[in-house]
Structure 1
Amino acid sequence: MQIQTVRLHDEDAKIIYQETAGLAIITIHRPQAKNALTAKMWRELESLASQSLQNPKNKVLILRGAGENFSAGSDIKEFHAMSLEQAEQAFIEMERTISTVENLPLPVIGVINGPAMGAGLELALACDIRIGSDKAKMGIPVGKLGITLNNRFAKRLVDLVGPSATKDFVFTGRMYKAEEAFHAGMLNYLVAEKDLTKFMIRMGKLVAGMSPDSLLAVKKSVQQCTESTPALWQGATPFVSQNDFAEGVRAFVEKRQPQFKRPQS
């Protein structure tokens, strides 16, 4: 087994990369921040996902979070020190990482043992198959942050749960618990936490035993079936609101309710 640990800030902030028996396994490890990813961590995650292709023995990529979290998404406190332009660029880089995982020419299995929130949810949805434990929670509570859910972010949710449920996620900030997420199609499998690692490895080996050509072909075919016309991406919605983002992030850091103002018409 090959194990590579990339430390990004301190002893508790790292991304662990492993290779074993045809499986590449990436573990996000930042327990003190619910596995929230900084801009540097997003870039490193993209690099490690691409690295999984370098070993021809790798047949499947497994993506998981350490402990009882998948990922709380991006580090909101980091945004507090950014300008709007810097924050928008950070989201663009984040989307590039998520798209890299989504378009990887390997099957990607996401393992959700706890909350997958915001961009963490988007990262989970970019996986081809998602295995959840009974502690899984999934939501995208961006309404209090002035994050405007770019078209690509929205599409991943719409493809799985439909337009109305997608709007409900943002309008109300609701979160699906494990059973709700499973029945909504956001989780493909739901297993007890104690069985999660064993099931993850068994599923990874099962998929790895299939024809690589068949797996890649169906991945491309499904993507083509769900792709929208290029017009959807013309004039795409920005990721951050010019009016509300700064106040939303400030309120998050100050642990208070945001005071948004309706824009003048």
Structure 2
Amino acid sequence: MRVTIKRTEKDGKITLQESGSFAIVTINRPDLKNALTNRMWEDLAAIGRRIPENPKNKVVILRGSKNHFTAGSDIKQFNNLSIQEANQAFNVMEEAISTFEKIPLPTIGAINGPALGAGFELALACDIRIGTPNTLMGIPVGRLGITLNQAFAKRIADLIGKSRTMDLVYTGRLLKPKECYDLGLLNYLLEEEEDINSFTIQIGKKIMEQSPASVLAIKRSVSFNNPTISIPWETGVSSSLDPIDFPEGVRSFVEKRKPNFQRRPF
């Protein structure tokens, strides 16, 4: 097991735990609802770029410590920044978010609490999202005079549509767990007594049972018409069959056993 800790401001850190084919990234700044400073966003992007370099990693889990995902960016830091510096900070946020969006591995967001503002965007960058009764989602930027760029707006609109996206910004309202699930912002909504970490691991293990070629191909294919996402790897999507995984999948079906898929470099 390999654990990496990127330390930033006091009580704020991003950790990466690599074990059992999982890369588990945890945002840890619980006293401030895991709000990320500019330096933490930079560290998050750096960790996201590192994850594919470990050939043992098969599934990425992104979560927050305690009963929070992340409240987004630490707004207090903007009080001391110029407009130019603030714009650059938003560029850093987008770099971190898009880095996780483009990771050539399946990503699961454990939304174990509020995911607000840029934290909402970070949650939407995950392929699958799991929520709890503590989940709260929204992007209340109107009170701050933040004008969402196209990449930020498109992530939301692609999931819930243009009108609902505008409603969220127009009113600043926050979505409760059932609303998030009904709108498709959450793939799974757990009951009060269910443990999100255990459930997330279970979903990750199910993903690992599938053909890596099939998993990566669907991730690339659903992003094909999205100009904000350019996934830098090939999966043979011009064909409907993977030359290695397909024969093994058919053979295992005939032999009534689990397939032995082998992850290959992307």
Could you tell me the TM-score, scaled by structure 2's length?
A: 0.83
Q: Given that residues 22 and 205 in structure 1 are in contact (C-alpha distance below 8 angstroms), is that contact kept between their aligned partners in structure 2?
A: no
**Matched residues in 2 for 1:188 and 1:225: separation?**
22
Within the alignment, does 1:21 sit opposite 2:20 as a pair? Answer: yes
**Matched residues in 2 for 1:173 and 1:59: separation?**
37
**Matched residues in 2 for 1:151 and 1:123: separation?**
15
Secondary structure of the residue aligned to 2:70 is: coil
Partner letter of residue 177 of structure 1?
K
Q: Given that residues 72 and 118 in structure 1 are in contact (C-alpha distance below 8 angstroms), is that contact kept between their aligned partners in structure 2?
A: yes
Partner letter of residue 224 of structure 1?
F
**Number of the residue aligned with 1:49:** 48
Q: CA deviation at 1:55?
A: 1.1
Q: CA deviation at 1:225?
A: 3.8
Instruction: String of CA shifts for 1:156-202, please: whole Å, max 9, x gaps.
Output: 11000001110110110111111100000000001135421110110
Within the alignment, does 1:6 sit opposite 2:6 as a pair? Answer: yes
Query: How many residue pairs align between the two structures?
Result: 228
Q: CA deviation at 1:210?
A: 1.6
Q: CA deviation at 1:125?
A: 0.2
**Number of the residue aligned with 2:121:** 122
**Matched residues in 1 for 2:179 and 2:169: separation?**
16
Could you tell me the TM-score, scaled by structure 1's length?
A: 0.83
**Matched residues in 1 for 2:102 and 2:14: separation?**
20
**Number of the residue aligned with 1:210:** 210
Q: CA deviation at 1:7?
A: 1.6
Which stretches in structure 1 are left out of the alignment for 5+ residues?
Answer: 229-265
**Number of the residue aligned with 1:231:** none
Within the alignment, does 1:153 sit opposite 2:152 as a pair? Answer: yes
Q: CA deviation at 1:120?
A: 0.1
Within the alignment, does 1:70 sit opposite 2:73 as a pair? Answer: no
**Matched residues in 1 for 2:149 and 2:196: separation?**
32
Partner letter of residue 169 of structure 1?
L
| Higher RCO by CA contacts (8 Å cutoff, separation 6 or greater) | 1
Q: Percent identity?
A: 53
**Number of the residue aligned with 2:81:** 82
Q: Given that residues 114 and 136 in structure 1 are in contact (C-alpha distance below 8 angstroms), is that contact kept between their aligned partners in structure 2?
A: yes
- Mapping of 1:131-210 within 5 angstroms? 131-193=130-192, 194-210=194-210
**Number of the residue aligned with 2:259:** none
